[in-house]
Homo-oligomer: A and B are copies of this chain.
Amino acid sequence: MAEHIVILAGGVGGAKLVQGFADICPPKRLSVVGNVADDWEFHGLWVSPDIDTLTYTLAGLIDEQKGWGVREESFRALGLLNRLGKETWMQLGDQDFGLHIYRTERRRKGERPSVIAREIAERLGVRVPILLPTDDPVHTRVQTPAGWLAFQEYFVRERCAPPVHDVRFDGAERATATPEVLGALDRADLIVIAPSNPIVSIGPILAVPGIRRAIERSRALKLAISPIVGGRAIKGPAAEMLRTLGHTADARGVAKLYAGLVDAFVIDEVDRSEAAALSALGLSIWVEQTVMRTREEKCHLAERLLKRASLATKDQGVA
């Protein structure tokens, strides 16, 4: 069995898989690398949606229905901001605001975002380390017919409606990977890319200089799970985005993005018929039930992946 597992994860979909692993692994054997390129300032406060989704999920605070935000949340602070004439399309709850206020105060003091995120998670009872790929600002922007939008403008305000013709990660080139992430990747004997959007969730993590190379160099077994099942994204705009960016909106489109980086690519049972063709990409194709509707399904997927990873490692290669 893997001694140290690093999971690269975006928001909702990634958090589900992370929760599955967290349920079956001791916390010290896991590290989660989250996405900070969705971070954005709202009302003068630093909001970090993907990291918060991971944190709330692992803290048991998450609204399971929505997949993000705190359960039984209220929106009174936002209501007052609305009365004061502010745009309030970003649904920030009252407890959320407490968190953003806390993070913003510490960031303004010049503290490392990684340290702040770690301490928030610890205070909320999370035992699995949630690592930031970088402490530097990286901002995803998407090009739409209306021009370049900040990711949250596209994702929340525009509800992912506009076609995305290009994506960039402002600041990524100048960003420095955190020693925590490089250290975790160095120790890893299993690296898992969660079923998150490969372009705007996993993409900005891999865009931080040094991270992709650390994964490539790692002797760990590397897996990626397709976020596209039966030609559709479980959640979010991944399928449409793949299409408008010139990829195919299916598991194959995702597999091609990860070919050369991972050893095995995990597709859902509904896509079983594609397995043979996908093997031609030089990837080992694992077929599993990847859709996680319940806590049990999350654990089940994590267990299956760990078991297959263990077998693959024993065989000195990927079966």
Contacts and interface: CB of A to CB of B under 8 A. Distances in A.
Interface of A: 43-45, 73-74, 76-81, 83-86, 93-95, 97-99, 101-102, 104-105, 108, 119-120, 123-124
Contact of A101 (B74, B85, B97, B99): B97
Nearest to A72: B76
13 contacts: A44-B101, A44-B105, A44-B108, A73-B76, A77-B95, A80-B95, A83-B123, A84-B99, A84-B123, A84-B124, A94-B94, A94-B97, A97-B98
Contacts of A99: 80, 84
B76 A94 contact: yes
Contact of A98 (B78, B95, B119): B78
A124 B83 CA distance: 7
A118 to B, nearest CB: 12
Copies of this chain, count: 2
A202 B73 CA distance: 40
Contacts of A119: 84
Per CB-CB distance, the 8 closest pairs between chain A and chain B, nearest first, are A80-B98, A44-B105, A77-B98, A76-B94, A94-B94, A80-B95, A77-B97, A81-B98
Nearest to A93: B76
Contacts of A105: 43-44
Given A84-B120, A102-B43, A102-B86, A94 B77 contact: yes
